Structure 1
Amino acid sequence: MPIAIVTGGSSGIGRSAALQIARRGTGVILTYQHHPSGAHDTVARIESDGGRAVALPLDLGDSTRFPAFHDAVVTALRDTWQRDTFDYLVNNAGASRTATFEDTTEELFDDLMRVLLRGPYFLTRTLLPRLADGGAIVNVASNAVGSGLEPGYSAYGTMKGGLVVLTRYLAKELSGRGVRVNSVSPGSTRTRIADDAFARHPEVIPHLAAQTALGRVGEPDDIGLAIAALLDDAGRWITAQDIEVSGGYRL
């Protein structure tokens, strides 16, 4: 059985990715930080469908904890699947804070960098010895890098843009091991990010839907399905790509 690690699997895109990956016969290690009940609910849903999953805590903004997380992954692999490697990594966990360029403080910039760029960079580096040859990585970026440019997202978009660049470098450097690396860039998606912004400001949804070719905002499964497809055999000839998954935002 192949094994995937999905960061931020307690809700939203991460939960959907974990569920869709598991439905393809893959075991899942998912992470959480502030929402353990959501993570354990994801595990329960996977197990109710006949799959196998483990939830582990992870603070993506604190790289000093990555060696301990690596050890927890090794234990989970051994105890649950009798393996010492995994096959897929989904760097999904993130955060979002907005501020105009003039109002962006160094503290805000550094907070976003630790979670959105430095975290995935060094978590991938920490876990790389356990990633099996012929595996795959998907980094969750954002259309804030392209079609979704909006005032207030300069720091967030800069970090996500860096993640897209990292995707291409990893695809180049890991190609000798047969590891494929891609990123997906979601558009506006109904998740809990930014303190559950869609629930707090439902009035923005019609405006976003009107700017989307397919006439609605995204749902987590729209992105989770794309991630799962890139990991499995359907994506075996795709690498070094950033795929916008936005329903045609501003098409």
Structure 2
Amino acid sequence: MGVLAGRLTGKTALVTGGSRGIGRGIAERLGRDGARVAVHYGSNETAAKETVTAIEEAGGSAFAIRAELGVPGDAAQLWAEFDRQAQGLDILVNNAGIGVSEPFATLQEEEYERVFAVNAKAPFFVTQLGAQRLRDGGRIINVSSGLSHASVMPHLVAYAMTKGALDVFTRDLSKVLGPRGITVNAVAPGIVDTDINADWLRAGDEAWANAASMSALGRVGAPSDIADVVAFLASEDGRWVTGQWIDATGGSLA
């Protein structure tokens, strides 16, 4: 247990897409800090259960909830699952997201609509219903991307557009919920070593070196790098930060 363990004791958190990658890192960190964590997953129940077990083995409390995002009724299903196991919410982390497989010239309408449904529409309505459960003084943290602020991978334009929408949502929602003492911020990762990026990051030493060179710190990010920033914003220490886009790219945009 770290020196900050317990600072979220008595709090309940929900992390969408919390079973893998950055989401798992965030869920585990919030659990170590004392929060009871709802680990949301869309399809990989095994990964969700593994994350719950990891949190519990570290001395924390967690439970898994399933809801497919990007389909009609997704937010209502998610909160129905949550309500069966918890009452009230203090921290909402909108982390779940998907990428695109095609560049601008060949991207089809179906894939475009799907990435917007998961990355932009779902967080909006998950948060809309979640705000009814969120206690005054709560926290909302949206996981954005460095690509919403810099054209370093222009072939991912549709994905970047979804994160740009999430950034505007973050900014404006901070004013909507500010009177309740609720902070709303976005955290933007750069290249992070997760299974989603594994194929190209581990294609060879050159691929890894090229990815690492994008950061001013000369390495590829880890889920814990992002989770620690989220943990700060979720804590009392982050009480005076709201409506902000936090660059957590390791200086990739410097």
Q: Is the CA contact 1:21–1:228 (under 8 Å) kept in the aligned structure 2?
A: yes
Match of 2:20 in 1: 11
Q: Indicate the residue corresponding to 2:4 in structure 1.
A: none
How has the CA–CA distance of structure 1 residues 9 and 205 changed in structure 2, closer, same or farther, with 3 Å as cutoff?
same
Residues 243 and 105 from structure 1, CA distance in 2 versus in 1: closer, same or farther, beyond 3 angstroms?
same
2:142 partner amino acid:
N
- Counting only pairs closer than 5 Å after superposition, residues 148-227 of structure 1 correspond to structure 2 as 149-193=152-196, 196-199=199-202, 203-227=206-230
After the TM superposition, which segments of 4 or more aligned residues of structure 1 sit over 6 Å from their partners? Answer: none
Q: CA deviation at 1:69?
A: 2.2
User: Is the CA contact (8 Å cut-off) linking 2:66 and 2:81 kept in structure 1?
Assistant: no
The TM-score, its normalising length taken from structure 1, stands at: 0.93
Task: Calculate the TM-score normalised by the size of structure 2.
Answer: 0.92
Q: Where does residue 5 of structure 2 map in the other structure?
A: none
Pairing of 1:80-91 with structure 2 (within 5 A): 84-91=87-94
Gaps of 5+ in 2: 1-9
Q: CA RMSD in A?
A: 1.6
Q: Distance in 2 between matches of 1:250 and 1:167?
A: 20
Deviation, 1:100, is: 2.4
Question: Map of 1:51-70 to 2, 5 A cutoff?
Answer: 51-70=60-79
Q: Is the 8 A contact 2:18 2:27 kept in 1?
A: yes
Between the aligned partners of 1:155 and 1:5, the Cα distance in structure 2 is 27
- Contact 1:147 / 1:250 at 8 angstroms: preserved in 2? yes
1:192 Cα deviation from its structure 2 partner? 2.1
Query: Partners in 2 of 1:11 and 1:65 — Cα distance?
Result: 19
- Which is richer in helix? 1
Q: Deviations 1:21-59 (Å, cap 9, x if unpaired)?
A: 111111100111222111111111111111110001121
Q: 1:56 to 1:149 in 2, by over 3 A?
A: same
Query: Cα deviations across residues 103-122 of structure 1 (Å, max 9, x unaligned)?
Result: 22211210100110001111
1:72 is matched with which residue? Answer: 81
Give the superposition deviation at 1:190.
0.8
Q: Which amino acid aligns with 1:190?
A: D
Aligned CA distance change for structure 1 residues 145 and 135 (closer, same or farther; 3 Å): same
> CA offset at residue 188 of structure 1?
0.5
Q: Does 1:247 align with 2:250?
A: yes
**May I ask how many residue pairs the two structures share in their alignment?**
245
CA 140–250 in structure 1, closer or farther in 2 if over 3 Å, else same? closer
Distance in 1 between the 2:175 and 2:32 partners? 30
**How far did 1:199 drift?**
4.1
Provide the residue aligned with 1:81 in structure 2: none
Q: Greater shift after overlay, 100-109 or 239-248?
A: 100-109
Q: Secondary structure at the match of 1:176?
A: helix
Matches of 1:74 and 1:37, distance apart in 2: 22
The separation in 2 between residues aligned to 1:195 and 1:215, in whole angstroms, is 18
- 1:236 has 2:239 as partner: yes
Aligned equivalent of 1:147, options 132, 150, 162: 150
CA deviation string 1:193-217 (max 9, x = no partner): 2685434566422112112110011
Of the structure 1 ranges 205-214 and 238-247, higher mean CA displacement relative to structure 2 is found in 205-214
Q: Secondary structure at the match of 1:193?
A: coil
Of 45, 55, 74, 1:46 maps to: 55
Q: Secondary structure at the match of 2:84?
A: helix
User: What code does the residue aligned with 1:143 have?
Assistant: G
Match of 1:80 in 2: none
